[in-house]
Amino acid sequence: MEIQWYPGHMAKTKKKIQEELKLIDVVIELLDARIPISSKNPEVDSIIQNKRKIILLNKSDLSDPEVNKLWADYYIENKQDFIFTNSITGKGVRELISAMESKMAHVLERDAKKGRMNRQIKCMILGIPNVGKSTLINKMAGRSSAKTGNIPGVTRANQWIRVSNKILLLDTPGILWPKFEDTETGLKLAWIGSIKDTIYDREGATLRLISFLREYYPQNLIERYNIEIDSDDEDITVYEKIAQKRGFIQKGNNIDYARTAEMLLDELRKTKIGKISFERP
């Protein structure tokens, strides 16, 4: 299954980001803790080059705690600054602000000696659509500074936002990259809601989701939908068992695959199936 989505405004955003970078001290790369690989825009590192960077693993309340530990070990081993965050509750926000100030401490001290007092730290936040950028910024600033929503692409213009007297933050619209080289990347982005549901085959994506959950989280499926899964069941059989349990049957006793897909994806994103991580280091 190949999923591609690259609206025109994303190309303009990339160009704008490159223009604004000369003003930036620290780049905040916001990833989804459930898919740290697939939610990382492969073009970001080449765009920001040698800028100071902090990785935020957002929505860490939705991901598997045990897998979170694996990712923590991975980033520590690779000497990469990272913070687990929850943009809704504000978890990790104070740690982020402290980390930015720490990264810039020597620069601010140097500038102060040159007479440039009260210099503000200018940061840029980058991430894919629907990863929680605007919600996180609002928590950092303590007010509704940026538009928020659960529709990919809701932030369409770069905005400078005052986080504190010390920090200015440039919010940017979520950007994907022109082509997913790995078909699994588009699939995982679709599962978590970073690609509009209207542009891909939801039923096909749901069938693949069931396959993944059977391999890594079979008990979650069994308990959530009160079904039995036999080792020789095909994925489509499990799909149909879930539909039947929920009563998603059309006239003629036909399975309503579309309604079942909508329900499964919705419950996945709301963690009703459990805290799920789709990638491991």
More confident residue, 180 or 277: 277
CA distance 235 to 221: 12
Domain match, 96 and 152 both: yes
More confident residue, 118 or 261: 261
CA distance 72 to 180: 26
Domain match, 45 and 163 both: yes
Domain CATH for 141: 3.40.50.300
Least confident of 58-72, 87-101, 177-191, 238-252: 177-191
Domain match, 252 and 140 both: no
Least confident of 39-48, 52-61, 203-212: 39-48
Binding site residue list: 58-61, 86-87, 130-135, 174
DSSP 120: P
Residue 263: which pLDDT band, with cuts at 50, 70 and 90? very high
pLDDT of residue 194: 84
**Does 275 map to a domain?**
no
The answer to whether residues 147 and 130 touch, using CB atoms and an 8 Å cutoff, is no
**Does 2 map to a domain?**
no
Whole-structure pTM value? 0.84
**Does 279 map to a domain?**
no
CA distance 46 to 119: 27
Beta bridge partners of 82: 55
What pLDDT, in 10s, does the model give residues 75-134?
Answer: 999 999 999 999 999 999 999 999 999 999 998 889 888 888 888 899 988 888 778 888
* Of 190, 194, 205, 198, nearest in space to 260 by CA: 205
Rg (CA), the chain: 21
- The encoded tokens of residue 221 equal 């499926």
Any idea which residue has 């913070």 for tokens? 83
What pLDDT, in 10s, does the model give residues 142-192?
Answer: 764 544 344 333 344 556 788 888 888 887 766 655 556 677 888 999 999
| pLDDT greater than 60 at residue 206 | yes
Any idea which residue has 């990382």 for tokens? 40
Domain match, 152 and 29 both: yes
Domain match, 212 and 131 both: no
Mean pLDDT of 192-219: 93
Domain match, 136 and 219 both: no
Binding site residue list for GTP: 58-61, 86-87, 130-135, 174
**Does 42 map to a domain?**
yes
Beta bridge partners of 52: 26
More confident residue, 113 or 70: 70
pLDDT of residue 156: 43
Q: What length is written for the chain?
A: 281
Domain match, 25 and 156 both: yes
pLDDT of residue 1: 55
How many Å separate Cα 40 from the centre of its chain?
A: 8
**Does 130 map to a domain?**
yes
How many Å separate Cα 211 from the centre of its chain?
A: 22
Query: Domain range for residue 85?
Result: 8-171
Structural domains in the chain (count)? 2
Domain match, 37 and 107 both: yes
- Separate counts of helices (H) and strands (E) for the chain: 10, 8
Q: Where are the alpha helices (DSSP H) in 128-234?
A: 133-141, 183-192, 202-216, 218-225
**Does 78 map to a domain?**
yes
